[in-house]
């Protein structure tokens, strides 16, 4: 510990004596082999070569346009799939879960329920909750087998499994956000600007 402090003090003394200022360089990182990396590489490299008047300009412009078109097309497809999954997959799943849970609540509370929503399907909740006077745990056996299975397949009915999946998904999202932040810092914040794309590489 003392030797590290002595070395840093010595380096500072030498730096001050010579009138030097050490600058930290942002480490170079490789672009991901995906459409985003392709678009960044094409923009920088092709405009650099265009500025130096190397190669056929039409080929350079066409490659830039093609990479940007692929990137925009990919983003549009992702948004389209999200909208369609929400419309045709998750909407039906939520609808079925609401019906299954309404039947579960009505049976477990012996009909002592209050209506909390009527559209798009009726949703009833037991009066007093699980610790109230109307909740009957043994009434679960009165449900048909299909209704029991539907109630047990509700995601929040298995909280441990649900939270583990949500935790893993959250970690993946955090990793992607961190990669995006590092790429933004590397390309936008810490990259020196130049007057012409001739000096970009």
Those residues whose C-beta lies under 8 Å from the C-beta of residue 36, and which sit 6 or more positions away, are 71
**Alpha-carbon gap, residue 131 to 134, rounded angstroms:** 8
Measured distance CA(63)–CA(61) in Å, rounded: 5
pLDDT at 70: 92
CB-count burial class (<10 Å; 0-12, 13-18, 19+) for 140: middle
178 sits in which H/E element: helix 159-184
Q: pLDDT digit of tens for each residue in the chain (201 aa)? A: 544 555 555 545 545 555 545 555 666 677 888 888 888 888 888 888 888 888 888 888 998 899 999 999 999 999 999 999 998 888 888 888 999 999 999 999 998 999 988 888 888 999 988 888 899 989 998 888 999 998 888 887 788 888 999 999 999 999 999 988 988 888 888 888 888 888 877
Please give the C-alpha separations between residue 88 and each of 76, 96, 123, 150, 153, in angstroms, as whole numbers.
18, 13, 21, 19, 19
**d(Cα 178, Cα 35) in Å, to the nearest integer?**
18
């Amino acid at each position: 510990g003392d030797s590290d402090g002595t070395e840093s003090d010595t380096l500072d003394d030498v730096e001050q004596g010579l009138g030097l200022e050490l600058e930290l360089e942002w480490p170079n990182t490789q672009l991901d082999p995906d459409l985003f990396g392709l678009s960044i590489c094409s923009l920088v490299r092709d405009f650099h070569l265009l500025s130096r008047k190397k190669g056929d300009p039409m080929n350079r412009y066409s490659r830039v346009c093609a990479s940007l078109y692929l990137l925009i097309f990919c983003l549009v497809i992702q948004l389209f799939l999200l909208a369609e999954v929400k419309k045709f997959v998750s909407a039906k799943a939520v609808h079925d879960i609401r019906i299954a849970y309404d039947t579960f609540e009505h049976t477990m509370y012996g009909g002592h329920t209050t209506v909390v929503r009527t559209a798009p399907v009726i949703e009833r909740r037991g009066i007093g909750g699980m610790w109230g006077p109307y909740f009957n745990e043994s009434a679960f056996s009165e449900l048909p087998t299909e209704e029991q299975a539907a109630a047990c397949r509700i995601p929040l009915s298995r909280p441990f499994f649900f939270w583990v999946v949500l935790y893993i998904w959250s970690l993946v999202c955090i990793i992607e956000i961190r990669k995006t932040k590092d790429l933004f810092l590397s390309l936008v914040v810490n990259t020196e600007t130049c007057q012409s794309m001739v000096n970009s590489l």
